[in-house]
Amino acid sequence: MAPQEKSETAPKSPRNKVIITCAVTGAIHTPTLSPALPFTPADIAAQAIAAAEAGAAILHLHARDPRDGSPTGDPNIFAEFLPQIHAATDAVINLTTGGSPEMTVEQRLAASLRFRPEMCSLNMGSMNFSFHLMGSKIKEWRFPWEKKYIEDSASFIFRNTFTDVTRVYQLMSDFGTRYEHECYDIGHLYNLAYFLDRKLARPPLFIQSVFGILGGIGADPDNVVFMRRTADRLFGEDYVWSALAAGRHQMPIITQAAMLGGNVRVGLEDSLFIGRGRLAASNAEQVSKIRRMLEELGFEIATPAEARSLLALKGKENVAI
């Protein structure tokens, strides 16, 4: 073999292991939009465990009211599914602090303060965050709250001021919790750089770039490259990158991110679909799909232990679940 013909066939990447995060239910979609969207504690636990078995190293979790699927920040509801997930899998438990449009910042933080997870989400700026077009084809709603909730998102401001974000760092860092820094636009990377300068954020930063939310950066391949390059310039070796994209953009955009050396997030929080016009049957189905695609491309999937090491997490035994 000539020296220039190296036997390496895998795509070029800073490291060849990809962390799959699965965001199991979120607070955007509503039960009428998909029968697969989990909302009872039993279903959230079962789908989260199946997603971990399929290859998700990190589980991003929200809670919902078991009676009607409406989002809730109530730690007592989280307590109905977190212990099962914690006992059944090694996956990293990552709790939302984004909550839902109807929650105060305090309500959004309550579960993380109680359970002291290895990770929690941290949204890096205030923004419009709208999904008001989502229910336009629905004629009959399963629960009365859903239609208004979706329509009202047109006037929702997702609040994450510098004061709010500082507070999350101050409270959660005491517990050794680290962050999924959700960046919905290029400016959010600069906000994160501000927190890094002030030593509130500490490397290795986990940056979750979010594409395709109405109010944030669009799900265009140019933007994925722009986000990656900007993060490289601001953070150099100090960050681990991941991407998610909303709805039909999910699989193509995260595959592009993996090709650029990133990690990926799937799950019914971000998209209800598995293919064009086809609803996913479960979170695990999306995990299996991206896993299959990545493995075909020559990547390996990171185990929870590898994710913990890459992200410098405190370990499963150090949470209060």
**Footprint on this chain of ligand KMH (rule: CB under 6 A):** 23, 26, 28, 96-98, 121, 123, 182, 210, 213, 269
Instruction: Find the shortest distance in angstroms from Cβ 125 to ligand KMH.
Output: 12
Q: Which is nearer to ligand KMH, 185 or 299 (CB)?
A: 185
Instruction: Find the shortest distance in angstroms from Cβ 22 to ligand KMH.
Output: 12
Among ligand KMH, Zn ion, none, what binds residue 28 when CB lies within 5 to 8 Å by partner kind?
ligand KMH
Instruction: Find the shortest distance in angstroms from Cβ 74 to ligand KMH.
Output: 16
Q: Coil, strand or helix: which one is 83?
A: helix
Instruction: Find the shortest distance in angstroms from Cβ 33 to ligand KMH.
Output: 14
Q: Which is nearer to Zn ion, 96 or 223 (CB)?
A: 96
Instruction: Find the shortest distance in angstroms from Cβ 102 to ligand KMH.
Output: 14
Q: Which is nearer to ligand KMH, 21 or 288 (CB)?
A: 21
Residue located via tokens 């290859």:
55
Instruction: Report residue 109 CA to chain centroid gap.
Output: 16
Query: Which has the closest alpha carbon to 177: 95, 254, 259?
Result: 95
- Strand pairing report for 157-158 and 127-128: antiparallel
Q: Which is nearer to Zn ion, 119 or 196 (CB)?
A: 119
Residues of this chain that interact with Zn ion (CB under 5 A) are 26, 96
At position 295, the amino acid (one-letter code) is E
Instruction: Report residue 49 CA to chain centroid gap.
Output: 16
Q: Which is nearer to ligand KMH, 91 or 210 (CB)?
A: 210
Among Zn ion, ligand KMH, none, what binds residue 38 when CB lies within 5 to 8 Å by partner kind?
none
What is the longest distance spanned by two Cα atoms in the chain?
68
Among Zn ion, ligand KMH, none, what binds residue 251 when CB lies within 5 to 8 Å by partner kind?
none
Residue located via tokens 């799959």:
20
Q: Which is nearer to ligand KMH, 23 or 59 (CB)?
A: 23
The CA-CA-CA angle for residues 118, 123, 125, to 5°, reads 155
Among Zn ion, ligand KMH, none, what binds residue 182 when CB lies within 5 to 8 Å by partner kind?
ligand KMH
Residue located via tokens 């709805």:
247
Q: Which is nearer to Zn ion, 243 or 299 (CB)?
A: 243
The residues, ordered by sequence, that sit 6+ positions from 152 with a Cβ below 8 Å of its Cβ are: 101, 132
Instruction: Find the shortest distance in angstroms from Cβ 97 to Zn ion.
Output: 9
Among Zn ion, ligand KMH, none, what binds residue 123 when CB lies within 5 to 8 Å by partner kind?
ligand KMH
Instruction: Report residue 67 CA to chain centroid gap.
Output: 25
Cβ atoms 185, 160 nearer than 8 A: no
Instruction: Find the shortest distance in angstroms from Cβ 197 to Zn ion.
Output: 26
Cβ atoms 31, 143 nearer than 8 A: yes
The pair of three-digit structure tokens given for residue 172, joined into one six-digit string: 């959660």
